[in-house]
């Protein structure tokens, strides 16, 4: 799993996974693994057609329990059709076939999965997969619109070549996005109605036709914030420097290269934001450009002049309106606490997170961070090395209490 999707705090949450008869059914096994990695308990329900592609034993071997299949199971569990509605916090059907969409839209309950879905009291998360012509059929589209109108979370299928070798819309959506939609359904929506801007990654300041000034930031910390805020219900806008991680399509992404471009994008977004999280490692200086041609080696020494760039955090902090909140980051090689406290005062931030860079377990290009956190009320904490996903989640917890 991608580092910035590896959230672990879902112990005690339960998801019911419905699997229908599509060649994409094998991908549901990966979904079980992904949810189990978060700590989520997973149950599974396989239709008769799904069992032609995958077996109940495969799901059981990966830790799914219970696994339902037949409408009338052998044994004492005569109320299995009600179990997910009583025990699960979310229900995801992936892949969903045209037949299952029709059942769901029309309230039919003639197999175990449709019974469980009909008895489930919360919105379903539905990810279809089928032949493009089946997907575009008027009946399928009418059923799809009905399900959306009822408030279910409907994930559009992707475009590309399907198993039948046809090109078009109908293949199962990106598995990471399906996973995140399911995880969001398990997550308390304590940031619903909030609009959040994240800056992340490095900037590159061009010098000649092939060289630039930059730093080794990977953008992982900011990506963790972006995903965490979206999981908790926020609308998220990410201003992303070069080389930053994949983000789901549900997050609005603005790819930039230079500090100037990052400032312009952030400045344009900031007036309508509720929260700004500034994790980007923005170059404080930009070289005076040599030009578009490659500089050729000649003299033994090379002198490059630099000009300062706009301080994005300070500038937007000064423009902060009542009700807006700012989290800044301080990447340091020493004196982390002292520098974080200075930044808190100088940048008009509500919180500052300081971290030491240049270590294998903290800072740039590491999946973990050791941080010092402080806020405008004088609260201070030191957190030991932990996954960046956990740092992001805990910082958002703290911010919501300010």
Residue 308, SS3?
strand
pLDDT in the model for residue 73: 65
Binding residues for CTP, by number, are: 284, 294, 329, 343, 347
Annotated binding site: 284, 294, 329, 343, 347
* Residue 1 predicted with pLDDT over 80: yes
pLDDT band at residue 38, thresholds of 50, 70 and 90? Answer: very high
pLDDT (mean) for 139-155? 98
Q: How many CB atoms lie within 10 A of CB 156?
A: 14
First-last CA distance in the chain: 32
Q: What is the mean pLDDT of residues 234-263?
A: 98
pLDDT of residue 358: 85
> Which is nearest to 80 in space by CA: 50, 51, 105, 114?
114
List the domain boundaries for the chain.
Answer: 3-186, 195-290+301-401
Which residues, at least 6 apart from 56, have a Cβ–Cβ distance to it below 8 Å?
44, 46, 67, 69
Q: Do domains 3-186 and 195-290+301-401 have the same CATH topology?
A: yes
pTM of the model: 0.95
> Does residue 247 register a pLDDT over 60?
yes
Residue 255 pLDDT > 90:
yes
Whether CATH 3.40.50.1950 fits 3-186: yes
Q: Which of 265, 262, 263 is nearest to 242 (CA)?
A: 262
User: Residue 38 has which token pair?
Assistant: 């978060």
Please state, for a pLDDT cut of 90, what percent of the chain lies above it: 91
- Which is the catalytic residue, given 115, 154, 159, 164? 164
Q: In what order do the strands lie in the sheet with 275-278?
A: 252-255, 235-240, 195-200, 275-278, 325-332, 351-356, 368-375, 380-387
3-class DSSP state for residue 79?
coil
The answer on pLDDT for 76 being more than 70 is: no
Give the fold, CATH level 3, of 195-290+301-401: Rossmann fold (3.40.50)
Tell me if residue 212 falls in helix, strand or coil.
strand
| 26 backbone dihedrals φ, ψ, rounded to 5° | -65, -25
The verdict on whether 164 is a catalytic residue reads yes
Percent of the chain with pLDDT over 70: 99
CA within 13 Å, CB half, 219 = 25
């Amino acid at each position: 799993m991608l580092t910035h999707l590896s959230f672990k705090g879902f112990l005690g949450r339960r998801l019911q996974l419905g699997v229908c008869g599509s060649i994409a059914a094998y991908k549901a096994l990966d979904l079980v693994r992904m949810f189990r990695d978060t700590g989520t308990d997973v149950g599974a329900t396989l239709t008769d057609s799904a069992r032609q592609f995958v077996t109940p034993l495969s799901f059981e071997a990966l830790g799914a329990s219970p696994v339902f299949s037949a409408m009338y199971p052998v044994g004492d569990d005569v109320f299995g059709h009600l179990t997910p509605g009583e025990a699960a916090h979310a229900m995801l059907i992936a892949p969903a076939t045209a037949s299952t969409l029709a059942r769901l839209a029309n309230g039919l309950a003639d197999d175990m999965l449709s019974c469980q879905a009909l008895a489930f009291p919360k919105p379903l998360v539905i990810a279809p997969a089928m032949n493009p012509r089946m997907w575009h059929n008027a009946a399928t589209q009418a059923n799809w619109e009905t399900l959306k109108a009822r408030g279910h979370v409907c994930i559009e299928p992707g475009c590309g070549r399907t198993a039948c070798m046809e090109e078009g819309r109908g293949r199962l959506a990106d598995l990471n996005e399906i996973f995140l939609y399911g995880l969001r359904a398990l997550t308390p929506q304590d940031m619903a109605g909030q609009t959040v801007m994240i800056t992340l990654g490095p900037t590159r300041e061009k010098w000649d036709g092939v060289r630039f000034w930059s730093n080794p930031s990977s953008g992982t910390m900011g990506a963790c914030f972006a995903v965490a805020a979206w999981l908790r219900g926020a609308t998220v806008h990410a201003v992303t420097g070069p080389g930053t991680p994949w983000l789901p399509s549900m997050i609005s992404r603005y790819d930039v290269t230079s500090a100037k471009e990052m400032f312009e994008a952030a400045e344009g977004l900031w007036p309508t934001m509720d929260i700004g999280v500034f994790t980007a490692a923005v170059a404080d200086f930009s070289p005076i450009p040599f030009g578009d041609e490659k500089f050729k080696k000649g003299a033994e020494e090379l002198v490059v002049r630099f000009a300062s760039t706009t301080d994005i955090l300070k500038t937007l902090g000064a423009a902060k309106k009542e009700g807006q909140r700012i989290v800044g980051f301080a990447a340091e090689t020493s004196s982390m606490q002292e520098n974080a406290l200075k930044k808190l005062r100088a940048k008009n931030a509500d919180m500052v997170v300081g971290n030491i860079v240049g270590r294998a377990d903290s800072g740039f290009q590491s999946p973990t961070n050791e941080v010092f956190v402080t806020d405008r009320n004088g609260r201070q904490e030191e957190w030991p090395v932990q996954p960046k996903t956990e740092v992001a989640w805990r910082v958002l917890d703290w911010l919501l209490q300010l």
